[in-house]
């Protein structure tokens, strides 16, 4: 995606608050062994031949053993969810017809990154050529949520206000305890292998307004650091083409209900931040090093640990922080009729409890793949 700032500014000035786009990434698996297999091109070709609706929603990612579906722009959250449910049903039917399974955790527990084939596109050739090991090592899967935000300055300010919220969203989404055939000891190994390795990734600085944001991107272009905006991989960013705030911090979710609940929470957070900008609510702008303390806690312990209340400089159980996040977003969610139904345990917690009960990593992953098939493949999720 090229850097046309005049067009990008106009996309935000013309944007509507609350339009939604959902993006979900899946591992493509051999149904017998649950190893990752390079079948993206085959799935895409089959969709183009038999299901143009699905084909239009599909996207390739870095490796050929990964596939993404996109809802497209929904005028509101229910519309985006309805479109994504339809795309999921079509994708899982196609996968079954093509003899592959699909997984939805932040990492594959044992796949060797050295054996994965990169897809052959100009963008991903540039990524691999530029980043080398860092790119090849990144075999990860996530959930991205786009929320329309009107006004370029306002979109940047919303991103600024979400900086201290990102570690909590990560803890809620944690779903990748295993990598390289090992128990990583983390709740989100995906974040450690991707967010902590890629340049221009993780929690961005606060830019204050569109000019500050644009000045930084101008610097990157002038110094030959980037040639397209998609080389900026922040965990929250204004999306220049869509006029949205895009939240990219979360692991892929093993069940459809969790994916939808997490997306609802993100939508509530973005739109509540926009309301706070409009109402002149004082913003909290913690130093990056303080946000990073919570990022590490979310990576290491997820919802089983404690996060820091940065305003009070006090620890609190992550579960209590979730309740505060739900309370903060309640006005925006109530206005839009968006409920959030999070499970008792998130994906990492469920996997860890199975492991503690004596299951092998292979058995744990097989259980998550079953959860994924039994929920994402349905036309309607209750």
Domains along the sequence of the chain with CATH: 5-376 (3.30.590.20)
Contact of 200 with 233, CB cutoff 8 Å: yes
Does residue 315 register a pLDDT over 50? yes
Q: Which of 1-5, 43-47, 224-228, 316-320 is predicted with the least confidence, judged by mean pLDDT?
A: 1-5
Main-chain dihedrals φ then ψ at residue 79, nearest 5 degrees: -65, -40
Residues 6 or more apart whose CB falls under 8 angstroms from that of 198 comprise 131, 134, 138, 233
Contact of 244 with 21, CB cutoff 8 Å: yes
Residue the block writes with tokens 């067009």 = 7
Q: What's the pLDDT band for 378 if we cut at 50, 70, 90?
A: confident
Q: Facing residues of 238 across strands? A: 245
**Which pLDDT value is given to residue 381?**
38
User: From the CB of residue 199, how many other CB atoms can be counted at a distance below 10 Å?
Assistant: 14
**Which pLDDT value is given to residue 3?**
60
Residue pLDDT, tens place only, 67-95: 999 999 999 999 999 999 999 999 999 99
Residues 6 or more apart whose CB falls under 8 angstroms from that of 173 comprise 106, 143, 188, 249, 250, 251, 253, 262, 346, 347
DSSP-derived secondary structure for 65-82: TEEEEE---BSSHHHHHH
Name the DSSP class of 119: P
Main-chain dihedrals φ then ψ at residue 233, nearest 5 degrees: -105, 30
pTM attached to this predicted model: 0.96
């Amino acid at each position: 995606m090229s850097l046309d700032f005049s067009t990008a500014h106009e996309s935000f000035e013309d944007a509507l608050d609350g339009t939604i786009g959902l993006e979900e990434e899946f591992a493509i698996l051999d149904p017998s062994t649950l190893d990752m297999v390079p079948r993206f091109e085959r799935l895409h070709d089959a969709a183009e031949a038999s299901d143009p609706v699905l084909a239009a929603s599909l996207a390739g990612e870095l490796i050929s053993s990964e596939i993404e579906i996109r809802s497209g722009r929904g005028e509101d959250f229910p519309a985006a969810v309805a479109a994504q449910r339809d795309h999921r049903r079509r994708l899982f039917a196609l996968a079954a017809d093509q003899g592959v399974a699909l997984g939805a955790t932040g990492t594959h527990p044992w796949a060797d990154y050295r054996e994965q084939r990169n897809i052959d596109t100009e963008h991903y050739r540039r990524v691999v050529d530029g980043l080398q090991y860092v790119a090849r090592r990144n075999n990860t899967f996530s959930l991205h949520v786009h929320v329309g935000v009107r006004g370029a300055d306002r979109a940047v300010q919303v991103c600024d206000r979400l900086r201290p919220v990102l570690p909590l969203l990560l803890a809620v989404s944690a779903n990748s305890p295993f990598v390289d055939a090992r128990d990583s000891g983390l709740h989100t190994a995906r974040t450690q292998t991707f967010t902590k390795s890629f340049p221009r990734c993780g929690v961005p600085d606060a830019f204050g307004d569109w000019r500050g944001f644009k000045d930084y991107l101008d610097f990157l272009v002038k110094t030959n650091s980037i040639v397209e905006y998609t080389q900026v991989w922040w965990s929250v960013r204004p999306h220049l083409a869509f006029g949205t705030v895009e939240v990219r911090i979360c692991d892929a979710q093993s069940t459809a209900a969790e994916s939808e609940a997490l997306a609802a929470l993100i939508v509530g957070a973005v739109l509540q931040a926009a309301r706070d900008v409009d109402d002149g609510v004082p913003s909290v702008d913690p130093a990056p090093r303080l946000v990073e303390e919570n990022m590490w806690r979310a990576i290491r312990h997820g919802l089983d640990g404690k996060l820091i209340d940065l305003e009070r400089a006090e620890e609190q159980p992550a579960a209590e922080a979730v309740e505060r996040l739900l309370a903060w977003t309640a006005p925006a969610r109530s206005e839009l009729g968006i409920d959030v139904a999070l499970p008792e345990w998130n994906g990492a917690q469920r996997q860890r409890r199975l492991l503690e009960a004596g299951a092998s990593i292979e058995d744990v992953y097989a259980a998550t793949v079953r959860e994924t098939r039994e929920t994402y493949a349905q036309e309607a999720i209750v």
